[in-house]
Amino acid sequence: MSTTEPGSTDPNTIETEIARHREDLGATVDELTGRLDVKKQARSQLADLKARGANRARNVRQRVQQAEPTELAAVAAPVVAVVVAAVVLTVVVRRVRG
């Protein structure tokens, strides 16, 4: 609730109301400017993505360094199998077409 009375003719009251309205309007303009600044939003999202990627890379690096060799082999074997299958499939498709 406002401490000033609306419709008051006291100059100090009017000046106080004007100052409060200016502050409110300034905050609103700043918020709208931030929402409409596409470059700023893109930079912010890019910075967030970079930070998340760096954190994930750091976590993976730590997990790999702490993992037992059998755990690494268990993860690497299916990956290697998929890569080999993709290479073989590519070679077979090229021979059939060409």
What's the pTM? 0.43
Q: Do 16 and 37 share a domain, yes or no?
A: yes
Same domain, 23 and 50: yes
How many CB atoms are located within 10 Å of the residue 16 CB?
Answer: 15
23 plus 55 within the same structural domain = yes
The pLDDT of residue 53 is above 80: yes
Q: For residue 2, which phi and psi values (nearest 5 degrees)?
A: -75, 145
List Cα–Cα distances, 59 to 3, 8, 30, 54, 63, in angstroms: 55, 63, 38, 9, 6
Computed over every residue of the chain, the mean pLDDT equals 88
Once rounded to an integer, what is the mean pLDDT over residues 57-73? Answer: 86
Answer yes or no: do 18 and 50 share one domain. Answer: yes
Residue 7 sits in the same domain as residue 47: yes
